[in-house]
Chain A
């Protein structure tokens, strides 16, 4: 299993600013994922973050807007850059944990509101 924490849990930001979200896993994991969930919608994968290499972004998401760091096997950050109100969403960090399990575990999410 994996216990995942995120911070901040929520933030209200002005447009044009940037916010960095931190994700910490309680065990060493190969892959970490960043999702976005807009109100009333399901989860959309932003990118997959592997330690020691650049993140792999999904269609519609670019590194300049959502830079990701993965400095070690337990930690990752997602930055939402040059924010606009359309970036208001819940951002969720996820990992499949250890032991080769298929189960995907999620952090509690960061609720971002951009004014």
Chain B
């Protein structure tokens, strides 16, 4: 089993749609959780951290369920500019080993 697993994608959605990405992790001792965005031929950049209480940043909402070892990202009212690969990222106990999911590619169409 992979340490971090994501929906394989790709997701093809029209502008304005709501899209949800799911991610599970295998190490129950994992400490920190993130969603990164990677545009084509660019480096990954932090989209948002994920907290147990859930957090929202504009059209983006992230949720963490530690009991189920599950992380989600919801994008509302999707824009063309949201087209990218979304990476689920988990940092293990000890603070420094970071595991990246394989990513889910999102295509938002006009």
| Residues of A bordering B, CB below 8 Å | 31, 33, 41-45, 48, 92, 96, 102-109
Contact = CB atoms under 8 A, between A and B. Distances in A.
B11 interface: no
Interface of B is mostly: strand
Interface of B: 32, 34, 42-46, 49, 87, 89, 91, 96-98, 100-103
Contacts of A31: 96
Given A41-B102, A42-B100, A42-B103, A102 B43 contact: no
Contacts, number: 38
A107 to B, nearest CB: 6
B98 A106 contact: no
A44 B49 CA distance: 20
A44 to B, nearest CB: 8
Given A31-B96, A45-B98, A104 B103 contact: no
B78 to A, nearest CB: 22
A1 B97 CA distance: 19
Contacts of A43: 44, 87, 100
